[in-house]
Amino acid sequence: SVIILDFGSQYTQLIARRVREAGVYSEIHPCTLELDKIRELDPQAIILSGGPASVTDSESPSIDPEIFTWGIPVLGICYGMQLTAKLLGGEIAPARDREYGRSEIEFCGNTALWKDLNAGKKLNVWMSHGDKVLTPPPGFSVVGKTETVEVAAMADENRRIYCLQFHPEVMHTEQGEAILGNFLFHIAGLTAGWSMSSFVDSVIPALREQIGDAQVVCGLSGGIDSTVVAALLHQAIGKRLHCIFVDNGLLRKNEAQEVIGFLREHFDLNLIHVQAQDLFLNRLQGVSDPEEKRKIIGHTFIEVFDKEAKAIPGVSFLAQGTLYPDVIESESFKGPSAVIKSHHNVGGLPEKMNLALVEPLRELFKDEVRKVAQQLGMPDSIVWRHPFPGPGLAIRIIGEITKERLDVLKEADAIVTSELKATNWYYKVWQGFAVLLPLKTVGVMGDERTYESVIALRIVDSVDAMTADWSRIPSEVLARISNRIINEVKGVNRVVLDISSKPPSTIEWE
Ligand code: XMP
């Protein structure tokens, strides 16, 4: 595998994804990982990530230069390059200005990294750096330069150490994939064997080994992550998996039926469908503060789930759909003042239940989970389902939640989904949904004045939900959604479109 040592770059995850996309398994570890631990991982190649620090600062993160003597190919990117230069005896110029964005690199030497690139003498690349290397260490030759950076790429072919001042992992770098490919295949001699079918083949025996003959409980939410967890565990341990689906009444229209229907049809699962709609609604009565709603829903979920799980004899494991970004988030390198945040998909559940965790998706990115789902034969409606918040429709009704408001929102939301699907926009946007506003505005229907609710449409593009922009949906599609909602959903006489980006807005309205 490829080990990526993380110095805190915002692009570290991207490096891991690009390597995996090339078919090679990669893992991210903090740069502070001890030398013998790195050795134990038995890497076939090591990548040193970028990072925000300056190598000229005495406190800046570093590694033991011994790794350069192991004979394992090393690729240093940005900060990883500057650090390599510093540790091996090169000369660094401290930053006067930061350079950020597009730049043009000119090849000025031969290296295995540039092998068979589909490029002339120059490439558009993405740079983001402060310090730069002035003189490469002994043994290195300069293989790329830009107008402002004399040493933009350097290579020591004998020791197989390669350094790039630009970021091959970002989309804006031309031929970035080919450069990484040269490092992985041509230089490190790796072969592309990591795929989602190899993941499934290896995870099933690993689950059997971890679980032994114990019983496992798993919460199903309707989302892709928990559905894939359940499907994998079912393959691994069959009837010793017990799934609990808590219907809190805050799900989208037909959601419970769709998910449960699919699972029942394809897997002979132990599936407990808890009808807890009234309990949740009662507890939410009169509550309009969003954080209060979240807390009530979270606590009630744990209470219901715990009660059901305790009724199953002999359960000792809880299966969760934790993904790799959550794992990296809690382990990543954030400098000396780092506050390590622990992550739980269902806050507080594992502590409360005193169960050991099974997390078969801990190594995967979201797009890889989607591929596993496809591999397992799941339909598009599950594979490409939009993310849905744990507190569900409760945070899409601004203010108090009532049964009537929920019914209105479910109908309006179902129209948004069906029209987006009918025009294929559903698969191009990150999320698209309706929000019910707690205000009434005037309208006319026939000869009568109406005084009814407003629905806001929230449809956004995003890659990770950290930032988002409103999707530019064609006006005909929006017109059809609006017409259908106003005509078909009783209690709504106005539809508005949310055109705010995140930040400073958020995706959800509460
Ligand atoms: P925001 O509104 O913060 O949403 O821009 C970012 C992403 O997170 C989802 N979201 C939640 N998911 N519990 C969840 O499980 C929550 O309380 C919650 N709030 C927001 C939201 O749907 C979007 O994908």
Domains of the chain, by residue range, sit at 2-187, 196-383, 403-497
Structure tokens belonging to residue 429: 């946007």
| Single-letter residue type at 148 | T
Find out whether 226 is annotated in a ligand binding site.
Answer: yes
Find out whether 224 is annotated in a ligand binding site.
Answer: yes
Instruction: Determine contact, residues 185/211, Cβ cutoff 8 Å.
Output: no
Q: Which atom of ligand 1 is least distant from the CA of 387?
A: 24
Question: Along the 510 residues of the chain, how does pLDDT read in single tens digits?
Answer: 999 999 998 889 889 989 999 999 999 999 999 999 999 999 999 999 999 899 999 899 999 999 999 999 999 999 999 999 999 999 999 877 777 788 999 999 899 999 999 778 899 999 887 899 999 999 999 999 999 899 999 999 999 999 999 999 988 899 999 999 999 999 999 999 888 888 999 999 999 999 999 999 999 988 899 999 999 999 999 999 999 999 999 999 998 888 888 888 888 889 999 999 999 999 999 999 999 999 999 999 999 999 999 999 999 999 999 888 777 776 667 654 343 333 334 445 666 677 899 999 998 988 899 999 999 988 888 899 999 998 999 999 999 999 999 999 999 999 999 999 999 999 999 999 999 999 999 998 888 899 999 999 999 998 878 788 999 999 999 999 999 999 999 999 999 999 999 889 999 999
Query: d(Cα 477, Cα 11) in Å, to the nearest integer?
Result: 36
**Whole-Å CA distances, 134 to 56, 91, 162, 164:** 13, 5, 16, 13
Query: d(Cα 453, Cα 437) in Å, to the nearest integer?
Result: 7
Ligand 1: list residues with CB < 6 Å: 294, 387, 389-391, 431, 465, 502, 506-508
Establish whether domains 2-187 and 196-383 are of one fold.
yes
Asked if 99 is an active-site residue, the reply is no
ipTM score above 0.90: yes
Dihedral sign from CA coordinates of 392, 398, 400, 405: negative
Query: d(Cα 26, Cα 12) in Å, to the nearest integer?
Result: 11
Burial class (CB in 10 A: 0-12, 13-18, 19+), 406: buried
**Whole-Å CA distances, 245 to 231, 272, 277, 301, 415:** 14, 6, 12, 10, 25
Asked if 242 is an active-site residue, the reply is no
Cα 56–chain centre separation:
33
In the DSSP assignment, the letter for residue 130 is S
Dihedral of the CA atoms 321, 229, 378, 14 (nearest 10)? 40
Structure tokens belonging to residue 100: 């950020």
Find out whether 223 is annotated in a ligand binding site.
Answer: yes
Dihedral of the CA atoms 332, 333, 334, 340 (nearest 10)? 50
Structure tokens belonging to residue 184: 């992985």
Longest pairwise C-alpha distance within the chain: 87
pLDDT reported for residue 335: 58
pLDDT reported for residue 428: 95
Instruction: Determine contact, residues 227/252, Cβ cutoff 8 Å.
Output: no
pLDDT reported for residue 198: 87
Q: Which of 29, 129, 167, 386 is catalytic?
A: 167
Query: d(Cα 329, Cα 348) in Å, to the nearest integer?
Result: 18
pLDDT reported for residue 340: 35
Structure tokens belonging to residue 348: 């507080």
Q: Which of 31, 129, 169, 308 is catalytic?
A: 169
pLDDT reported for residue 148: 87
Q: Which atom of ligand 1 is least distant from the CA of 505?
A: 5
CATH number of 2-187: 3.40.50.880
Q: Which atom of ligand 1 is least distant from the CA of 508?
A: 2
Q: 509 C-alpha vs ligand 1 centroid, how far in Å?
A: 10
Query: d(Cα 154, Cα 171) in Å, to the nearest integer?
Result: 22
Pocket test for ligand 1, best of 329, 507, 509, 510 (most atoms within 8 A of CB): 507
Find out whether 342 is annotated in a ligand binding site.
Answer: no
Q: 222 C-alpha vs ligand 1 centroid, how far in Å?
A: 15
Residue 30: is the preceding peptide bond cis (ω within 30°)? Answer: no
Find out whether 161 is annotated in a ligand binding site.
Answer: no
In the DSSP assignment, the letter for residue 186 is I
pLDDT reported for residue 333: 72
Q: Which atom of ligand 1 is least distant from the CA of 506?
A: 5
Query: d(Cα 265, Cα 272) in Å, to the nearest integer?
Result: 15
Asked if 167 is an active-site residue, the reply is yes
Q: 261 C-alpha vs ligand 1 centroid, how far in Å?
A: 26
Give the closest residue (by CA) to ligand 1 atom 22. 389
Query: d(Cα 395, Cα 383) in Å, to the nearest integer?
Result: 24
**Whole-Å CA distances, 140 to 56, 283, 320:** 20, 67, 47
Q: 21 C-alpha vs ligand 1 centroid, how far in Å?
A: 27
Rg (alpha carbons) of the chain, rounded to whole number: 26
Q: What is the domain class of 403-497 according to CATH?
A: alpha beta
Architecture of domain 196-383: 3-Layer(aba) Sandwich (3.40)
Structure tokens belonging to residue 509: 């309205």
What's the N-to-C CA distance of the chain in angstroms? 42
Q: 508 C-alpha vs ligand 1 centroid, how far in Å?
A: 6
Instruction: Determine contact, residues 227/373, Cβ cutoff 8 Å.
Output: yes
Query: d(Cα 468, Cα 502) in Å, to the nearest integer?
Result: 5
Instruction: Determine contact, residues 111/158, Cβ cutoff 8 Å.
Output: no
| Single-letter residue type at 42 | D
Structure tokens belonging to residue 95: 């930053």
